[in-house]
Structure 1
Amino acid sequence: MSFRIRGASASPGMVIADHSKKAFLELKRKKAHRYVIFRIDENKNEVVVDKTGGSAESYTDFSESLPENDCRYAVYDFDFVTAENCQKSKIFFIAWAPATSRIRAKMLYATSKESFKRALDGVHYEIQATDPTEMDLEVIKDRAN
């Protein structure tokens, strides 16, 4: 069973693969992954899992897993301690669209982004990044607090 992305901004017929939804739920509920990176399979018109990162992986591991010249969607589970010394976790949705990626890829990811993000129930924050500095760990920390 696949989940079809609906909405005015969605690409016609774009589908979320079952394993994509499952990987997000494993990150959200079971903390099985630190991050999940998704890509659009243009042949199947489907959002699929590109890579998952184990719960022990760092933010650097995650950011280095994003391709230098291609777009991706990603979710990252950020753990932190508040000023009141409480352990918290926030899920970030990152739309990665480097300036060097193909124009067609940028358009495809941009038109499907909102519908895909809505299908991932439980995302706390969104970051749109065209270069690594826009999604630096300091940016994540600032948004989470």
Structure 2
Amino acid sequence: MSKPPKQPVSVLVVIHTRDGEVLLIERADRPGFWQSVTGSREGDEALVQTALRELKEETGIDAANLGLCDWQQQNVYEIYPHWRHRYAPGVSVNTEHVFSLQLAAPCAVTLAAAEHLTYCWLPWQLAADKVFSPSNAEAIRTLGARLGQLR
């Protein structure tokens, strides 16, 4: 049985520490493409549930009681052509909802091997420069401002 098309509604979850270290994960299907946790909504789940599910699937972090923060921010962007086959015919635009999760310190994570190759923790400035997605880079820069670290 084939998988249903992905919904063009997703979450972006920036995992960070109070001092601005950001977790990045490298995509398995595109080595060299670094990102924060992302994923599409499944069924009619609430966006916070999508964020919690994707965090668990992609990093092993169970954030149910860790204070996930909904930024109430949406990014609308064109889906990269090499990923459009995952969506229904004619779908070319995605709406991404931004969340963040603050941890006490950088930690080891358990990656979904089919999705990600490795991970790293970087200061937010370096993380913003490393990610491939413009909306991910902007979210990390916004995090820097939220943490009061823009210089």
Q: Same fold (TM over 0.5)?
A: no
TM-score (normalised: structure 1): 0.29
TM-score, normalising length: structure 2: 0.28
Greater relative CO, 1 or 2 (CA 8 Å, sep 6+): 2
- Structure showing the higher helix proportion among its residues: 1
